């Protein structure tokens, strides 16, 4: 934290402008060594200064240099941003010059890590920075902005405040029992307070599971026997001839992927190899991949042929996708109906004909209904938006359950206090009130180099 770091903050490649970011105690001094223009050590904070970056009197590039003095910067350190002409060679040479004058290359996410360690943002805001960079849908962008603005932090801090007030009252009772004007915190008084907190955490988790769908999208696997029209459905959904379609069974032997957005939520759609009994080694590998993908999918689109009776292979597929979100697409409705509808163990059924495009809109509407996408897109209360945060919230909920069970079993109040305090501490981990170096290293290693 005492050294000065530098990195390219814009995408590498040909462009109008590239930005090199420098942060640390010596950032202004280091850039000033290789800047031909005003003395940067004497300029006002948050000013843009015209000049040249030079190396051994050779002009490297004509630049605009932004000088921002601590603490009013993203990292809360002195920060300099060099706006140079875009292009790989020029940008790298400017960065090389800065490094040669005393800075070092920043690690991935190190600027954001410093912002967190210096108290500029908390851990949920840091994660929202990366979510905003990686946002592939408008809904995900909105959630990331809310996290960046401190929406998640305020929810967790209010919860912890409520728990802390309860803990303080319990501590007073335990440490100063002689105080007659203090309300005695019995199990009967604590119980309704814990139930209210539990309801709040439950609500956060429920809404956050919806937020995870928006943030990560819905992994959708199209599955079925060979030649039932899986690839055609993929092509029609994404409006692109991405998968090869023929009348020959087993044409698709490896997965084919595509994406669409429905109500602001990304669907990552995977077309898989047709599942059937096969002796072909290559086809068997594709079939095993199909089954494995189905196990980890958020949504299964199970395709059946309207023109054929259910087969043993169909019935095996039913077992593969048990306890999953399944929409059955009965394809080829332009042909005679030979399928036994009453033998299909699923209620979400769509009839489809990819030749005439019948049923594709019905399939999309069924997905909207199944995942409440209409409500998700209008929901302004989404909060935790990644697995780490949701897992910690669930752990804190379990600790409250332990406390409530203790009350039910007439456990002494000082023992119940331990579980309540553990809940308070676990919620603190969400916003980074407590953390390990391993957690920070793992989290910020996922960031891009200049952020």
What digits encode the pLDDT tens for the residues 293-305? 888 888 999 989 8
Most confident stretch, 179-183, 209-213, 225-229, 419-423: 419-423
Q: What is the pLDDT of residue 277?
A: 59
Query: Is a pLDDT exceeding 70 seen at residue 318?
Result: yes
263 HSE (CA, 13 A, CB side): 19
The more confident residue out of 277 and 3 is 3
Q: CA-to-CA distance for 297 and 371, rounded, in angstroms?
A: 14
Q: What is the pLDDT of residue 360?
A: 85
Whether residue 258 contacts residue 238, with contact meaning beta carbons closer than 8 Å, is answered with: yes
229 HSE (CA, 13 A, CB side): 27
Q: CA-to-CA distance for 349 and 388, rounded, in angstroms?
A: 35
| 187-216 helix and 138-148 helix, angle to the nearest 10 degrees | 140
Q: What is the pLDDT of residue 23?
A: 97
Give the model's confidence band at 239: pLDDT under 50 very low, under 70 low, under 90 confident, else very high.
confident
Q: What is the pLDDT of residue 131?
A: 82
Query: Is a pLDDT exceeding 80 seen at residue 88?
Result: yes
Q: What is the pLDDT of residue 254?
A: 47
At 174, list the tokens. 């335990």
Give the model's confidence band at 377: pLDDT under 50 very low, under 70 low, under 90 confident, else very high.
low
Helices (H) and strands (E) in the chain, counts: 15, 13
Q: What is the pLDDT of residue 397?
A: 94
Note the helical H segments in 110-262. 110-117, 123-134, 138-148, 151-175, 187-216, 230-238
Q: Mean pLDDT check: name the lowest of 24-28, 51-55, 253-257, 416-420.
A: 253-257
Give the model's confidence band at 249: pLDDT under 50 very low, under 70 low, under 90 confident, else very high.
very low
The more confident residue out of 122 and 1 is 122
Query: Is a pLDDT exceeding 80 seen at residue 55?
Result: yes
Buried b (16+ CB within 10 A) or exposed e, 4-17: bbbbbbbeeeeeee
What is the DSSP secondary structure assignment for residue 123, as one 8-state letter? H
Please state, for a pLDDT cut of 90, what percent of the chain lies above it: 37
At 421, list the tokens. 């305090």
Handedness of CA 368, 372, 375, 378 (dihedral sign): negative
Q: What is the DSSP string of 228-256?
A: SSHHHHHHHHHTS--S---SSTT---S-E
Mean pLDDT of 268-293: 69
Measured torsion, CA atoms of residues 436, 441, 443, 445, in degrees rounded to the nearest 10: 180
Q: What is the pLDDT of residue 346?
A: 87
CB atoms within 10 A of CB 110: 23
Task: Name the 3-class secondary structure at 21.
Answer: strand
State the Cα angle at 160 between 155 and 162, rounded to 5°: 100
Query: Is a pLDDT exceeding 50 seen at residue 125?
Result: yes
Query: Is a pLDDT exceeding 70 seen at residue 248?
Result: no
Query: Is a pLDDT exceeding 60 seen at residue 250?
Result: no
Q: What is the mean pLDDT of the chain?
A: 84
Give the model's confidence band at 187: pLDDT under 50 very low, under 70 low, under 90 confident, else very high.
confident
Q: What is the pLDDT of residue 34?
A: 96
9 HSE (CA, 13 A, CB side): 18
The more confident residue out of 447 and 36 is 36
The more confident residue out of 209 and 407 is 407
Question: 67: exposed, middle or buried (C-beta count within 10 Å: 0-12, 13-18, 19+)?
Answer: buried
Q: What is the pLDDT of residue 252?
A: 44
Q: What is the pLDDT of residue 281?
A: 58
Residue 85 host element (H or E): strand 79-85
State the Cα angle at 308 between 349 and 339, rounded to 5°: 40
Q: How far apart are the first and last CA of the chain?
A: 16
Q: What is the pLDDT of residue 128?
A: 87
CB atoms within 10 A of CB 2: 6
The string of pLDDT tens digits covering residues 203-220 is 888 878 776 777 678 888
Measured torsion, CA atoms of residues 60, 65, 71, 74, in degrees rounded to the nearest 10: -80
Query: Is a pLDDT exceeding 60 seen at residue 279?
Result: no
């Amino acid at each position: 934290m005492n050294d000065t770091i530098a990195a390219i903050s814009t995408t590498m490649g040909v462009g109008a402008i590239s930005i090199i970011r420098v942060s640390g105690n010596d950032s202004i001094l280091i850039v000033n060594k290789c800047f031909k223009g005003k003395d940067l050590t004497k300029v006002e904070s948050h000013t843009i200064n015209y000049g040249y970056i030079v190396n051994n009197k050779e002009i490297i590039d004509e630049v605009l240099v932004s000088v921002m003095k601590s603490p009013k910067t993203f990292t809360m350190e002195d920060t300099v941003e060099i706006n140079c002409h875009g292009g790989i060679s020029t940008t790298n040479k400017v960065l090389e010059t800065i490094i040669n004058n005393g800075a070092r290359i920043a690690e991935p996410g190190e600027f954001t890590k410093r912002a967190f360690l210096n108290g500029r943002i908390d851990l949920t805001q840091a994660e929202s920075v990366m979510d905003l960079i990686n946002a592939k849908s408008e809904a995900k962008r909105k959630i990331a902005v809310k996290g960046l603005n401190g929406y998640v932090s305020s929810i967790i801090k209010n919860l912890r405040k409520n728990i802390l007030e309860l803990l303080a009252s319990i501590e007073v009772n335990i440490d100063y029992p002689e105080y007659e004007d203090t309300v005695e915190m019995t199990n009967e008084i604590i119980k309704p307070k814990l139930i209210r907190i539990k309801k709040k955490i439950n609500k956060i988790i429920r809404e956050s599971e919806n937020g995870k769908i928006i943030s990560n999208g819905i992994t959708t696997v199209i599955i079925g026997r060979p030649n039932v029209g899986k690839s055609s459905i993929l092509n029609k959904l994404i409006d692109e001839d991405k998968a090869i379609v023929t009348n020959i069974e087993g044409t698709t032997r490896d997965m084919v992927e595509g994406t669409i957005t429905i109500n602001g939520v990304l669907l990552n759609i995977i077309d898989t190899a047709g599942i059937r009994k096969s002796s072909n080694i290559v086809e068997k590998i594709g079939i095993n991949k199909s089954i494995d993908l189905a196990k980890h999918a958020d949504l299964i689109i199970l395709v059946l042929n309207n023109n054929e009776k259910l087969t043993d292979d169909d019935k095996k597929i039913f077992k593969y996708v048990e306890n999953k979100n399944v929409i059955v697409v009965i394809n080829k409705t332009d042909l005679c109906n030979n399928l036994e509808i009453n033998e299909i163990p699923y209620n979400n059924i769509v009839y489809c004909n990819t030749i005439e495009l019948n049923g594709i809109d019905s399939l999309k509407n069924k997905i909207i209904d199944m995942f409440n996408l209409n409500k998700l897109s209008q929901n302004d209360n989404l909060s935790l938006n990644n697995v780490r945060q949701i897992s910690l919230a669930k752990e804190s909920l379990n600790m409250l359950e332990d406390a409530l069970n203790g009350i039910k079993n007439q456990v002494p109040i000082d023992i119940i206090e331990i579980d309540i305090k553990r809940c308070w501490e676990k919620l603190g981990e969400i916003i980074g009130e407590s953390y390990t170096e391993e957690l920070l290293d793992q989290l910020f290693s996922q960031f891009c180099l200049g952020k």
